[in-house]
A and B are shown apart, each in its own frame.
Chain A
């Protein structure tokens, strides 16, 4: 167990460092003078020179990388070249929105997919199972941006149930989160369905019925936890990969989250902010992996004693 945690820790550090390294050098390879971005195209050569000196733009790339790492090690993510706001502050003010949006979306899709998957497995081949399958397949093929736009059009603009843009309260997150969740519900319902069908055929389910357990108990106590074991890994990967979708939805609904920040920073060619958002998503991936590991150990006791 200890060794496994240790390995995982090393792996996490390597992932984070690798991401930082790769992004840094990729950004460096982008053509164009950052100083021009900062000072504007009409700035005088003196100003440009000054900026070069201030941001060490003329130093060799590895030296600047070392500088950046040193900065990171001191918990400093740098300042935006455009607004001069500390990157950490920019991230932190936007973090709650993104976290809330992500969490809400995950909760929504899991809360819907679990009963759907379980019940369709229990009533296999019924009309309920078949129609769920159709809906799931359709939802799988919806493009994310189209869905977000359509939901915004119908529920916010036409029906007026939700604000069209701008983030004021938790309620405003429901629509964006739902448009993310819908993309996953169908897929997860099928995934849980497939695992559930297999689990329901296993001898311990027959043994549970032979004990006199009710169908509800058999389904949700005995079968569900076993059926969720393989789902957890995929869930971890999807949550980590969700940032792409979040980025989109935040921009469509004009939510002040990390996604909008990321898009802005790329448009502005603002390296410290780009680095910050990339670092954030790398942390998210690593964090999701840790969460999966912990969840796994809890849901499947066989994991702990193995290794």
Chain B
């Protein structure tokens, strides 16, 4: 049984006629101990999907309009408040983009980690356990560091504290929403390395959200690419990154800067991500797609399994112009 199975998830912002669909029919599945990378540009609905897993979206304005989120077999969208609190932190933990803003500025970091323990593993809510966790995420001198306030730590250290706090209740799933975007490249590499190592050590599953395809390659088993609220391509990371099939994935990949000798002009995707409520008809990518055809603006293409375990939302994925 998968640890996490999202089926046909629909999330709106606003009600009735004013409702704007931010997540439209997303389906994901994650086995215990595996890592899934969720990639896409800003505003594609990655964070909304991620927050929905523990029902963390503020309602209103968000509305869970349809679908199921099965976490260890139970539908999160149907849980009562008390059950939800057990799941949050206990079964699924979060690490967010801005570590500085995600730690409460007025409490010592040791206390914040201990709180996570008190909520889910009260028997382990001790200084010793806090120190062990801080050591686990590679914080030097944890005995003194646990008395620090968040602002006394660097961004990289703050993110390590966030990870320690997320790991404290021994969750089965870690959702990391752009955990490295706010950090320097060197620190980025440290944090990704840390996540990879912890996954091995603790056997938890990771949902890693990022806009940089270069980062998922380091750690993910599978990759799902999101565009305008939908998944447009999904498949095993190794295969997908070597042979992206969807025009959007291909374009996204080319826009990652490299150090290659011939690195000159970057390839870009023309135009911008469509705004919520202004998604184009037919294929939502067609105004920016370099190989769009007239038919593309007509019927919305389905997400189809075009090869074993390779899902693509583009009927023309196999056309010669795309293989060039």
Contact = CB atoms under 8 A, between A and B. Distances in A.
A and B touch in the complex (CB under 8 A): yes
Interface stretch (B101-109, B249-257, B278-286, B309-317): B101-109
A225 interface: yes
A30 interface: no
B101 A203 contact: yes
A212 B86 CA distance: 6
A210 B88 contact: yes
A301 B119 contact: no
A208 B88 CA distance: 10
B103 A207 contact: yes
A302 B56 contact: no
Interface of B is mostly: helix
Most chain B CB neighbours (cut-off 10 Å) among A211, A229, A300, A302 = A211
A202 interface: yes
Given A203-B101, A302-B149, A305-B152, A226 B88 contact: no
A209 interface: yes
A202 B162 CA distance: 15
Given A203-B96, A301-B149, A305-B151, A210 B56 contact: yes
A229 B104 CA distance: 13
Interface string A183-215: 000000000000000000011101111111110
A300 B115 contact: no
Contacts of B90: 212
B106 A212 contact: no
Interface in B129-174: 149, 151-152, 162, 165, 169
A212 B98 CA distance: 19
A204 B103 contact: yes
Interface of A is mostly: helix
B58 to A, nearest CB: 8
A209 B94 CA distance: 10
Interface residues of A, number: 21
B105 A301 contact: yes
Contacts of B103: 204, 207
Contact of B106 (A207, A208, A301): A301
Contact of B85 (A207, A214, A299, A300): A214
A208 B87 CA distance: 13
B88 A209 contact: yes
Given A210-B54, A212-B120, A305-B152, A204 B105 contact: yes
B104 A226 contact: yes
A214 B119 CA distance: 9
A204 B101 contact: yes
Contacts of A202: 101
Contacts of A209: 56, 88
B93 interface: yes
B89 interface: yes
A257 B165 CA distance: 54
A300 B88 contact: no
A212 B87 contact: yes
Given A203-B98, A305-B151, A305-B152, A211 B89 contact: yes
Contacts of A214: 85
Contact of B116 (A204, A211, A225): A211
B53 to A, nearest CB: 10
A8 interface: no
Contact of A207 (B94, B119, B149, B169): B94
A194 B216 CA distance: 40
Interface string A156-200: 000000000000000000000000000000000000000000000
A301 B94 CA distance: 25
Given A211-B165, A301-B149, A305-B152, A204 B102 contact: yes
Interface string A287-307: 000000000000111100100
Contacts of B104: 204, 207-208, 222, 226
Contacts of A203: 96, 98, 101-102
A256 to B, nearest CB: 42
A300 B101 contact: no
Nearest to A298: B106
Contacts of A301: 105-106, 108, 149, 151
A208 B106 CA distance: 13
A211 B96 CA distance: 12
B307 to A, nearest CB: 37
Most chain A CB neighbours (cut-off 10 Å) among B89, B104, B120 = B104
A210 B94 contact: yes
A200 B1 CA distance: 37
Interface string A220-253: 0010011001000000000000000000000000
Contact of A300 (B89, B105, B119, B165): B105
Nearest to A211: B89
Contacts of A212: 85-90, 116, 119-120, 169
Nearest to A226: B106
6 contacts: A210-B56, A211-B89, A214-B85, A301-B108, A302-B149, A302-B151
Interface of B: 51, 54, 56, 85-90, 93-94, 96, 98, 101-106, 108, 115-116, 119-120, 149, 151-152, 162, 165, 169
